Amino acid sequence: MRWDGQEIQGEQDGALPGLTRMAGLLRSVRTPEFAGITFHEVAAKSALNKVPESSTMPFRWTVNPFRGCSHACTYCYARATHRYLDMDTGADFDTQIIVKVNAAEVLRRELARPSWSREQVALGTNTDPYQRAEGRYRLMPGIITALAQSGTPLSILTKGTLLRRDLPLLTEASGFVPVSLGVSLAIHDEELQQLVEPGTPTPRARLDLIRSIRDAGLDCHVMVAPVLPWLTDSREHLDALFAAVAEAGATSAHAFPAHLRPGVREWYLQWLAEHRPQLVAKYRRLYGRGSYVSAEYRDWLRERTRPLLRRHGLTGQSRLREPDGERAGAEALYARTSGALAPDSAPEAVMQQTLF
């Protein structure tokens, strides 16, 4: 790999403490093309992660080729996972990216086991599989091929327009197994989007991705999530966003409010204090000491979005979600699977096994 000259060692100045005990660490590299970002390449012991039986998600298995995400979304529910490497949930999550360089190879072996029952596997449930790093490591083509060749249905949720690169492969795969694609697009206002999600493609770029998916003959679900109270929950904003995704050809959509788990909450409220200080007290009242909005707000948002989804023809079902219900379907993704599919009290050893 042409980054060999950029390799850094764990004991060098500035190395993070968690690196010395990171399972399977091969090397850490930097490159001028990704200024400020360090990639920590690991040899994963496993690729398939099992979703707890108690989860309401419409799938039982996930694959996460990366840990950490350069999308740098202030609200990202996966931020807390970096704590288990002694890294912070803010800047480290955005810039210290764990890359499972052997993910496709390990996945292929796991799928070949006689015990594998070919249940649906979901990608994009933790960090985005099409974040910028994928352009260099090209892990997804091998993962998609392994799943399709084994007869395993797959779903992908992403903000990354790099998915367009793999549309021919995904179209081919859809001839052998069910393939479900989803685009995450929660903010229609580009100025606000760049403040909240500084490393992501623009709303316009993601709308173009929806069009490309539909032009390829595949359905496209849109996750309008998380909805940010007092920032993106107005009728005007939601109506405009649903109208835009419908015009782009989305076959269904779903919206639910932000889930601010410990590790995420502090980072997001810090951003809020800097950019929208007048809302900090309102958020503290709305969330209290917990991670979820009040039941009243959740019901209010559901009633606001339902007629808008019907108006724009976005009420179809998707393998990326389940029928509406309290904390069901996509909303349960935030409530149940952040922290890499482990409960708040999961011990460190369990988290390491789940994430690697």
Q: Is 321 within a domain? A: yes
Please give the biggest Cα pair distance in the chain: 58
Which is it for the CA torsion 112, 116, 120, 126, positive or negative?
negative
Which H helix or E strand runs over 221? Answer: strand 220-227
Which residues make beta-bridge pairs with 48?
63
Residue 53's SS3 state is coil
Between CA 76 and CA 24, with CA 121 as vertex, the angle to 5 degrees is 70
Phi-psi region of 120 (alpha: psi -120 to 50; beta: other; left: phi over 0): beta
CB count in 10 Å sphere of residue 46: 17
Q: Is 352 within a domain? A: no
**Strands ordered across the beta sheet of 96-100:** 7-8, 25-29, 38-42, 96-100, 66-67
pLDDT digits (tens, 9 = 90+) for 14-32: 455 556 567 789 999 999 9
CB count in 10 Å sphere of residue 287: 20
Total structural domains within the chain: 1
Q: Is 355 within a domain? A: no
Query: What is the rounded distance in angstroms from the CA atom of residue 151 to the CA atom of residue 129?
Result: 21
Q: Is 353 within a domain? A: no
Residues in Cβ contact with 266 at an 8 Å cutoff, skipping those fewer than 6 apart:
89, 90
Q: Is 351 within a domain? A: no
Query: What is the rounded distance in angstroms from the CA atom of residue 221 to the CA atom of residue 95?
Result: 29
Query: What is the rounded distance in angstroms from the CA atom of residue 136 to the CA atom of residue 134?
Result: 5
Q: Which two tokens stand for residue 95?
A: 């810039």
pTM: predicted TM-score of the whole model, two decimal places: 0.85
Query: What is the rounded distance in angstroms from the CA atom of residue 330 to the CA atom of residue 320?
Result: 7
Q: Which segments in the chain show pLDDT lower than 70? A: 1-21, 319, 321-356
Of the candidates 321, 35, 9, the residue with the CA atom closest to the CA atom of residue 199: 35
Query: What is the rounded distance in angstroms from the CA atom of residue 340 to the CA atom of residue 336?
Result: 9
Contact, 89 vs 79, CB < 8 A? yes
| pLDDT for position 19 | 63
Query: What is the rounded distance in angstroms from the CA atom of residue 179 to the CA atom of residue 307?
Result: 28
CATH code, domain carrying 325: 3.20.20.70
Which residue type sits at 37? I
- Tell me the pairing of strands 48-50 and 61-63: antiparallel
| pLDDT for position 95 | 97
Read off φ and ψ for residue 326, nearest 5 degrees. Answer: -60, 120
Of the candidates 134, 4, 151, the residue with the CA atom closest to the CA atom of residue 70: 134
**Residue-number span of the structural domain to which 96 is assigned:** 4-337
Residue length, the chain?
356
Q: Is 87 within a domain? A: yes
Q: Which two tokens stand for residue 318?
A: 């998707």
Contact, 183 vs 214, CB < 8 A? no
| pLDDT for position 184 | 98
| pLDDT for position 181 | 98
Q: Is 350 within a domain? A: no
| pLDDT for position 120 | 95
Q: Is 348 within a domain? A: no
Residue 336's SS3 state is helix
